[in-house]
Amino acid sequence: MDYRNAGVDIGAGEEFVRLIKSNVRKTFTPRVMTDIGAFGGFFEADFKGYEKPVLVSSIDGVGTKLKIAVELGRFDTVGSCLVNHCVNDILVCGARPLFFLDYYACGKLVPDDAAAVVAGMVEACRQNGCALIGGETAEMPGVYHGDDFDLAGTVVGVVDHQKIVNGTAMRAGDVMIGLPSTGLHTNGYSLARKVFEGRMRETFEGFDCSVGEELLKVHRSYLKVVEPFIGSPDLHGLSHITGGGLMGNTMRIVPDGLQLDVQWDAWPELPIFDLIRREGSVPEDDMRRTFNLGIGLVMIVAEDGVDRVMAGLKSQGENAYIIGQVSAA
């Protein structure tokens, strides 16, 4: 009996590192001080231009979206989803990303599949201007079975203390501006998978790809769109719409004594959501609590700053929608 016969292939792990090494290096910024393979990732902090820098971190995964990736044998999008999800989570605090770390766990390591996942991470890290400085790959046949794998990531970013966005500036009369999503992003997949069980390769009317491919669309990053508004007195709050839906997530930043009045018909809902609703006979309350329904990020903006913000979003080519307001509870 040896380690390989016990289910762990060290050679496959070494091949995986060889496949990803040059690709991961493409994300390195001048502040990265170590190469892939070190026991820790070194990042030389440079806080010039920050009066009182605050580090912001977040950790997350992509949930059972991975099961669809396995079923279709397509692994590149989930890596990008992981990075973008984490970046959005610190963005809504006002932070921009510095570096990223990932964790990949599986029952049997297939180097090419794992490398495709990392290629997606690399692409998203480059688009977000952050470095992929380390990760961990774990082959655990006693925990994961068949082609199953799990994916998690941690991002670390920085924000100047005076530019932290946390909702404390929110007032009655503020306006909710919604930025469109590209689909389900990384939430609600247990329900979506149940609705389309055994039909992931089926193409429904109105779609130019299979439903599985539609569900694998990349969770977009809002960094480049929102970053110009960080520190603006017009911006009072930001919410990343993940599990819990629009209300559940945005209420996390609403101060006591205030409430949200959402106009649910104020934006065009993506066709995938109505398909889920119809094919699964899903109650509307469940749809609103489970999915983003086409709005991936909410900006809470001062009433007198709405025109400026909308003009700024339009100048970036962003289709933004006024979707409600803040009022006294």
> Long-range contacts made by residues 212-215, C-beta under 8 angstroms, separation at least 24?
212/68, 212/71, 212/72, 213/72, 213/74, 214/183, 214/272, 215/65, 215/68, 215/183, 215/184, 215/189, 215/272
Q: What is the arrangement of strands in the sheet containing 53-61, beginning at the earlier edge strand?
A: 53-61, 149-160, 96-106, 131-139
Residue 23 pLDDT exceeds 90: no
Sign of CA dihedral 242, 243, 245, 250: negative
* Whether pLDDT at 39 is above 90: no
- Kindly state the average pLDDT of the residues 93-106: 97
pLDDT mean across residues, the chain: 94
Confidence class for position 6, pLDDT limits 50, 70, 90: low
Token pair, residue 32, equals 């990265």
**Does the structure show a pLDDT above 90 at 293?**
yes
Whether 57 shows a pLDDT value over 90: the answer reads: yes
* In the chain, % of residues over pLDDT 90: 85
Burial category of 276 from C-beta neighbours within 10 Å (exposed 0-12, middle 13-18, buried 19 and up): buried
d(CA 29, CA 25): 9
Task: Classify 22 as helix, strand or coil.
Answer: helix
DSSP 192-247: HHHHTTT-TT---TT-SS-HHHHHT------HHHHGGGTT-TTEEEEEE--TTHHH
Nearest to 300 by CA among 241, 244, 243, 242: 241
Could you tell me which residues come within 8 angstroms of residue 140 by beta carbon, excluding any fewer than 6 positions away?
8, 105, 106, 107
Residue 311, pLDDT > 80, answer: yes
pLDDT in the model for residue 21: 84
Taking the C-alpha atoms of residue 272 and residue 263, their distance in angstroms, rounded to an integer, is: 20
**Which domains are present in the chain?**
3-160 (3.30.1330.10), 174-328 (3.90.650.10)
Higher pLDDT, 70 or 31: 70
Q: Residues 239-260: what's their mean pLDDT? A: 96
Could you list the beta-strand ranges (E) of the chain.
Answer: 53-61, 96-106, 131-139, 149-160, 175-180, 235-240, 258-262, 295-301, 321-328
Q: Which pair of tokens denotes residue 160?
A: 């100047």
**Locus of tokens 């998690």:** 152
Chain centroid offset of residue 135 CA: 18
Phi, psi dihedrals of residue 277, rounded to the nearest 5°:
-60, -45
pTM for the complete prediction? 0.95
Return the closest-CA partner of residue 154 out of 128, 129, 140, 134.
Answer: 134
When pLDDT is averaged across residues 126-147 and rounded to a whole number, the result is: 93
Over range 236-245, report the average pLDDT.
Answer: 96
Nearest C-alpha neighbor of 119 from the set 24, 256, 14, 28: 24
